[in-house]
Structure 1
Amino acid sequence: MSNSRDITIDIRQLQMGRRSLLQGLGVAAVGISFGGLAACSDSSGGLASTGEEATLNFYNWDTYIGETTLDDFREASGITVNMSLFATNDELFAKLRAGNPGYDVIVPSNDFVERMVQAELVQPLDHSLIPNMANIDPSFIDVSYDPGRVHSMPYTWLALGIGYRKSKVSSPPDSWKVLFDSNEYANRIALLSEAGDVMRLGAKYLGHSVNAITPEIIAQVEAMMIRQKPFIRTFHEDNGQDLLLSGEVDVVMEYNGDIAQIMTEDDDIDFVIPKEGSQLNSDNLCIPVGAPHPKNAHMFINNLLDAEVGKKITETILYPTPNAATKALMPAEYAANPVIFPPADLLAKCEYAAYNATNQPLYEEAFTRIRAA
């Protein structure tokens, strides 16, 4: 990431809540090293059982790992994980397209898995090195964006919706209208800063499938969003939950797991999937082309898919897990939480977005004009 600096943090001293590490450290991007090694470190840690140097470089979303996951993996394998953070799929893609600077495992969302496969930025996985693949719910194996899981393993699935402060709304904001087409919460609105998500959900509000968007629909969404721009406080960098928790905004486009986490800290916060439906995502574990430690990467991915390891991660991040063995270990209130697992009638209106090579540059160009308006 540009303008980043490396900071070493002892994760045992860190309370991982969903408050943004990036925001708390006051930097735009941060490389975090666990165990006192700088990101993309040298081989001073010796050799792992894989025969590779005992280090692994992990490029992940902010606060998207268990409190002790990386320390536990180091103790079990002798491999130190150096975790750096990105805020959007666009940032992740740009970083890898410029040439892998040394990452071994990355966490792209479903449409970006498809995009990165097409761009030859991720390498095929050796399933024989990932026996914990057997723990994955079968419905997450033969997926449209990566049939047979040739290039990816599922990490979480998630739903976009509206997080809101109950005391600041007259009624639950059950329509995308409050974010895209209303001045009811002027200057108290935060939207994601990822072009595709904003454009697709704007189209969803206008009655279209997220996978049936034409240039004409993109133009309609752009015009609507330019009208709405004066009422939007910010386009957030994966920290909408922090803005809501701090009181800087009252309504925010955000993922269900992010809002579920801050709901444990503030009972004035809630989450809803709008009545028009929404976009589902799945975040995935991939090994980029040029990974310096591919055997360590397979070992790490297999570890993350272990049932008990997955349980500790899920208890921290509170996202829906595609790991059936992990879900079986979670308490009943997890599966019964309607924020984490939205009601079936609302999920039926939601769709996974496919990568559209024709539309993606149009989304980015339109979003640039929206942000500049």
Structure 2
Amino acid sequence: MSDERTKSLFGPHSRRSILKGLGAAAVGITLTSKNYSAWAADEEKKLNFYNWDTYIGETTLEDFADASGIDVNMSLFATNDELFAKLRAGNPGYDVIVPGSEFVERMIQADLLEPLDHAKIPNMKNIAPEFIEDAPFDPGRKYSLPYTWLVIGIGYRKSKVKEVPDSWEYLFNSDQYKGRIAVMSDASELFRNCFKYLGKSINDDSPELIKEAEAMLIKQKPNIKAFHEDNGQDLLLSGEVDLVMEYNGDIAQIMTEDDDIDFIVPKEGAMKQQDTLAIPKGAPHPENALKFLNFIFEPEVGAEITKTILYPSPNAAAVALMPDSYKDNKVIFPPADVMAKCEYPRYLGPEFTRLLDEAMTRLRAA
């Protein structure tokens, strides 16, 4: 999220001003009492962090350097496919990465992740138990820990819709908002949410189901303004579209800037995901990486990250430090009965991935 768009969830001030107003504890100065510098004394004081854009607290990396003496070099990737391809070619030097849950499973199968030494991450205790217990993509959390969680739904401009767009039908199978809708360009996210609309599991790997979803989307294509590349919230905020397929956290961000915007998880259910923290095979500073993971799960650190990115946090101790305007926000935390209809995507193998990619290619060419 750009600096120009860092208006706070809690009022008209910037997030940076809010952090200053909350005092030193909110930005992690209390963390210097932790003996982080005693860990990994034999490793050089460096950490290479491969992250999504605008997906860290404003002071998190500086706070970690102050607490540990370890300097962090953060570089950015744009898609899970980019992350996977980079690591499959050989780790160029990353210590901590942020793969989505489906790609955690894929990376485990490809032997691209180091097992985590949980004994060196005592702050795991701050993670809500359900995020440890419900991780079908990484049973026992042997290779990854939850950084954020998210669900895909429909962001919309309230003044431009006739009724709450509570079904995927508005995006996938209707001309009601012709030329005013945008959907995701990622094949897995697009097609598998179509599966939910068609009454199937997002983890149904039937080739016939892919063909059915493809035919529906090709028919719908004239009504779609854009297949967006993770900027759907910007299209909605600028008024280029009125409905958009997007993550709840991204829509929560722009809702702080425009009260005409809202978000709903369709009644059929949707794909939910976790973005995780993991250590790739060949990490040059694995002990520093464990130290960084433990730091991220400090309550104050997790709260500082959350204040910046506004995604739902699995760090229960961090959530406890957040104001009610965050904890009670039904966009950030959809009700339990809604989330019960949502599913984590599983990695269903190279053949399924190939069929999805080919269907997406035909859809783009149609």
TM-score range, shorter chain: 0.7 to 0.9
Cα pair 1:256 1:340 within 8 Å, conserved: yes
- Of 303, 308, 312, 1:316 maps to 308
| Cα deviation code 1:78-97 (max 9, x no counterpart) | 22222222222222212222
What is the alpha-carbon distance in structure 2 between the residues aligned to residue 248 and residue 207 of structure 1?
Answer: 30
Deviates more, 1:301-310 or 1:330-339: 330-339
Structure richer in helix, relative to its length: 2
Stretches of structure 2 lacking an aligned partner (at least 5 in a row): 8-37
Give the CA deviation at 1:17.
Answer: 2.9
What is the alpha-carbon distance in structure 2 between the residues aligned to residue 338 and residue 322 of structure 1?
Answer: 15
Cα pair 2:146 2:274 within 8 Å, conserved: yes
Moved over 4 A (4+): 13-16
Structure 1 match to 2:90: 99
Give the CA deviation at 1:48.
Answer: 8.8
Please provide the CA RMSD for this pair: 2.0
Matched, 1:110 2:110: no
- Of 321, 329, 333, 2:321 maps to 329
Structure 2 match to 1:305: 297
Matched, 1:342 2:331: no
What is the alpha-carbon distance in structure 1 between the residues aligned to residue 240 and residue 74 of structure 2?
Answer: 29
Structure 2 match to 1:367: 360
Query: Amino acid of the residue matched to residue 364 of structure 1?
Result: D
What is the alpha-carbon distance in structure 2 between the residues aligned to residue 160 and residue 268 of structure 1?
Answer: 19
Cα pair 2:251 2:263 within 8 Å, conserved: yes
What is the alpha-carbon distance in structure 1 between the residues aligned to residue 242 and residue 79 of structure 2?
Answer: 22
Stretches of structure 1 lacking an aligned partner (at least 5 in a row): 1-10, 19-46
- Of 46, 51, 54, 1:60 maps to 51
Which of the pair has the greater relative contact order for Cα pairs under 8 Å at 6+ separation? 2
Give the CA deviation at 1:188.
Answer: 2.1
Structure 2 match to 1:283: 275
Deviates more, 1:91-100 or 1:208-217: 91-100
| Cα deviation code 1:36-73 (max 9, x no counterpart) | xxxxxxxxxxx995432222221112211111111111
Query: Amino acid of the residue matched to residue 139 of structure 1?
Result: E
Cα pair 1:110 1:145 within 8 Å, conserved: yes
| Cα deviation code 1:179-213 (max 9, x no counterpart) | 11122222222222221111100111111111224
Cα pair 1:159 1:255 within 8 Å, conserved: yes
TM-score w.r.t. the length of structure 2 is 0.87
Structure 2 match to 1:120: 111
- Of 254, 262, 265, 1:273 maps to 265
Give the CA deviation at 1:14.
Answer: 4.3
What is the alpha-carbon distance in structure 2 between the residues aligned to residue 368 and residue 295 of structure 1?
Answer: 42
Q: Closer, same or farther in 2 for the Cα pair 1:82/1:14, shift >3 Å?
A: farther
Structure 2 match to 1:228: 220
Look up the SS of the partner of 2:332 in the other structure.
coil
What is the alpha-carbon distance in structure 2 between the residues aligned to residue 301 and residue 156 of structure 1?
Answer: 13
Structure 2 match to 1:35: none
| Cα deviation code 1:332-358 (max 9, x no counterpart) | 222211101112221121111111114
Matched, 1:294 2:283: no
Cα pair 1:277 1:349 within 8 Å, conserved: yes
Q: Closer, same or farther in 2 for the Cα pair 1:81/1:70, shift >3 Å?
A: same
What is the alpha-carbon distance in structure 1 between the residues aligned to residue 143 and residue 328 of structure 2?
Answer: 32
Look up the SS of the partner of 1:361 in the other structure.
helix
